[in-house]
Amino acid sequence: MVRIHQIHRPALVGPVNLDRIWKLKKRLLGQLAHEQRRDAISPRPDKPFDVGAGLIVLTPKHELMCIGTSNFKERVGPRQHMCPDYCAEMFGIKTARKMKGRIIGMVIEAPPQADDFSGYFKEGVTVSCGFCRYEYRLELKDPDSPLTADTWLRFNHPTNRKKFLEKQASAFLALFPNDPKQLDPKHLAKRGGP
């Protein structure tokens, strides 16, 4: 699920300081990510994995849009990446692309667990999964992508505000040098079509 939470039409004249916008908005984005978890669809009855994300996007008209997204997984079983299963991060990137915007930053909140690809759990927060990292790398190769190497990513613990990981996309991806270069076809069975 995607929601536009706020449209800000500041009088942006001259250069835009994206880092300053990030510093001013990341707390609000954390609140959006927390709220969006209620709309997440997770079929695991014993241990729901509800993920929310809050994004700040700069549009071509210099509007600042705050977007909230949630994850969606249709059923328990092998992952069907991006068709029908979607991570909150992917909904956000696709929405920003439709707006022809640039993602300044994204805050993601999820139940704490170690990364399923690498086992990474250093800060005690859940980070974007291996599927999302694969997509991030594809996005960074695309000059028209809303995600850039300078996009801020922040991963919040749902109950402990002192636990988080915050890095720009390129530095975040550098934490995972052993990620697969290709995804297993079983996870991509329906990608791009019915």
Task: Give tens-digit pLDDT for 113-171.
Answer: 999 889 999 899 999 999 899 999 999 999 999 999 999 999 999 999 999 999 999 99
Work out the angle at residue 82's Cα, subtended by the Cα atoms of residues 77 and 84, and round it to the nearest 5 degrees. Answer: 55
**What is the pTM (predicted TM-score) of this model?**
0.88
Domains of the chain: 19-148+156-187 (3.40.140)
Distance, first Cα to last Cα, the chain: 20
Structure tokens at 176: 């995972």
Structure tokens at 84: 């029908």
Q: How far apart are CA 137 and CA 76, in angstroms?
A: 27
Strand partners, 54: 68, 107
Percent residues over pLDDT 70 in the chain:
83
What angle, 0 to 180 degrees and rounded to 10, lies between the N-to-C axes of helices 88-98 and 130-141?
20
Q: How far apart are CA 155 and CA 111, in angstroms?
A: 11
How high is the pLDDT of residue 81? 60
Helix, strand, or coil (residue 157): coil
Residue 50 has phi, psi (to 5 degrees) of -95, 120
Residue 104, C-beta contacts closer than 8 angstroms, at least 6 positions apart: 18, 21, 22, 25, 56, 57, 58, 64, 151, 152
pLDDT digits (tens, 9 = 90+) for 12-26: 556 789 999 999 999
CA dihedral sign of residues 179, 130, 136, 165: negative
Higher pLDDT, 168 or 193: 168
CB 87 within 8 A of CB 108: no
